[in-house]
Chain A
Amino acid sequence: AQSVAQPEDQVNVAEGNPLTVKCTYSVSGNPYLFWYVQYPNRGLQFLLKYITGDNLVKGSYGFEAEFNKSQTSFHLKKPSALVSDSALYFCAVRDGLDTGRRALTFGSGTRLQVQP
């Protein structure tokens, strides 16, 4: 079974400060990891993914995420937050085993509030 935990319901950060949104995961094989963002009245949007290779992956809008296998974590980061980054962020995982399964398991989401 695969699972994702996002321990913070909400993260508050001042504009210009660095931000971190936490995610830990559990899968049987090697993980495929993702971050998606949901703006109000908009569909979920893909931000970035880790499949293999460099542990630091870069994505859209200046976001990046660091894969840490020993800690089974995939935290989302940004060096300098913008008010427009305020949204709901979801971490997701899929087992990389070649089972043919395509279902992503999402976390419960973390609401990011960036104050001006």
Chain B
Amino acid sequence: DTGVSQNPRHKITKRGQNVTFRCDPISEHNRLYWYRQTLGQGPEFLTYFQNEAQLEKSRLLSDRFSAERPKGSFSTLEIQRTEQGDSAMYLCASSSGLAGVTGELFFGEGSRLTVL
């Protein structure tokens, strides 16, 4: 399968612990996005990379959240000192070229975080 891959698919953690999610985009895609989706809501934008450069960050991305994309390939999203409000599905998407400009994104199946 050559789609967007996210790991782990599910993560249960205790409040205060750190968690890290990984996203492997479609190989030829140079743009990568992180979104967060809570139950009953649409995805909310968190951050965007073009190659290794993080070009856009949402105000939702507090200081406890950090995202990286070393070498412009896979990306990681780390949440430090998790809170119960962080419980959500974390979605990764990728795109390339003009599709990235105009918004046609390819999404992974998401990583579900539950903070106890």
List residues of A whose CB falls within 8 A of some B CB: 4, 32, 34, 36, 41-46, 49, 51, 90, 92, 94, 100-109
The distance from the CB of A35 to the nearest CB of chain B, in whole angstroms, is 11
Say which residue of B3, B40, B103 sits within 8 Å of A43 (CB atoms): B3
Contact at A44–B43, with CB atoms within 8 Å? Answer: yes
CA distance A108 to B55 in the complex (A): 25
List residues of B whose CB falls within 8 A of some A CB: 3-4, 31, 33, 35, 40-45, 48, 55-56, 58, 91, 93, 100-110
| Chain A residue at minimum C-beta to C-beta distance from B58 | A103
The 25 sampled A-B contact pairs (Cβ below 8 Å) are: A4-B42, A34-B104, A36-B107, A42-B109, A43-B3, A43-B4, A43-B106, A43-B107, A45-B107, A46-B106, A51-B102, A90-B42, A90-B43, A101-B56, A102-B48, A102-B56, A102-B100, A102-B103, A103-B45, A103-B56, A104-B45, A104-B103, A106-B42, A106-B43, A108-B41
Question: What A residues does B105 contact at CB under 8 A?
Answer: 44, 46, 104
CA distance A105 to B44 in the complex (A): 7
Question: What B residues does A103 contact at CB under 8 A?
Answer: 45, 48, 56, 58
Question: What B residues does A101 contact at CB under 8 A?
Answer: 56
CA distance A43 to B3 in the complex (A): 10
Contact at B40–A108, with CB atoms within 8 Å? Answer: yes
The distance from the CB of A74 to the nearest CB of chain B, in whole angstroms, is 13
